Amino acid sequence: MSVHTAIIDYRAPKEAILNLEHYYNICLFKNTHTYEAIKGHPDICIFKGSSELIIAPNSPKILFDLCESNSIVYSIGTTKVGNDLKSSTAYNCVETDYHIIHKQGFTDTQILQRVTHKPFLSITQAYTRCSLIYVGNKCAITSDKNIHARLIDTGYSSLLCNPHGILLPPYKHGFIGGCFGMNSNTLFCIGNLDYLNDGKRIRAFLDTHNIPLMELYNGPLYDGGGIFFI
């Protein structure tokens, strides 16, 4: 099934949402079961695997309606999203072509039961999807030193970047993974890399690996928990 909808934080900059709307239908995401800073982040409730979505059981109704009305294959996870670390990170893992990447003991059991054909790569950061964007061909960008080291040790091409300057109110900065969404080999960015100190390094990394970049608005990178394309 072809992609037609982009799920994005309802608080993302309006210019970014409008620009994304030129290409996709928009689903503005809001989850009321977790804390303020991340209540608009789709990566808290959604795990997007290679074959299906796994969604937290207390996800907003708009998400279930979207899947049902478009015959999108999904499963319901076992963990209800909440305010504490464990319940707010159960779906925040990353599936690459080679691994499932997450902190051991934090992954929803439905994900572990359905993605058994790939080894589990354990890291120390439970907010894995927040901190990591996988761009394909064993290449990734992360703002977490431990994730970067584990990826390098496992044979990935990884770029470690400084997250300072990424917007995530009320915190000093956000995470790099939450600024991006990947679809059809194109990387969509909520912001302009010129506003980030490591922006030139990210551009060079993407150029080296032939990954097209689409910056959705002219402003600082905004951590909105990623963009999910379904």
User: What does the alpha-carbon distance between residue 214 and residue 212 come to, in Å, rounded to a whole number?
Assistant: 7
Say how many CA atoms lie within 13 Å of 14 toward its Cβ.
0
pLDDT score of 79: 98
pLDDT score of 189: 98
In this structure, the strands spanning 25-29 and 46-48 are unpaired
- Write down the CATH number for the domain with range 5-229: 3.75.10
pLDDT score of 3: 67
pLDDT digits (tens, 9 = 90+) for 200-229: 999 999 999 999 999 999 999 999 999 999
Residue with tokens 């964007």: 133
Q: Is 22 exposed, middle or buried (0-12, 13-18, 19+ CB in 10 A)?
A: exposed
pTM above 0.75, yes or no: yes
> What residues of the chain score a pLDDT lower than 70?
1-3
| 221 contacts 133 by C-beta, under 8 angstroms | no
CA distances from 33 to 2, 36, 69, 195, 222 (A): 30, 9, 24, 32, 21
Delimit the domains of the chain by residue range.
5-229
* CA torsion through residues 62, 7, 71, 79, sign: negative
pLDDT score of 2: 59
User: What does the alpha-carbon distance between residue 83 and residue 81 come to, in Å, rounded to a whole number?
Assistant: 7
First to last CA, the chain: 9
| 97 contacts 136 by C-beta, under 8 angstroms | yes
pLDDT score of 1: 43
pLDDT score of 5: 96
Cis previous bond, 170, omega within 30: yes
In this structure, which amino acid lies at residue 42?
Answer: P
The dihedral formed by the CA atoms of 28, 135, 44 and 66, expressed in degrees to the nearest 10: 40
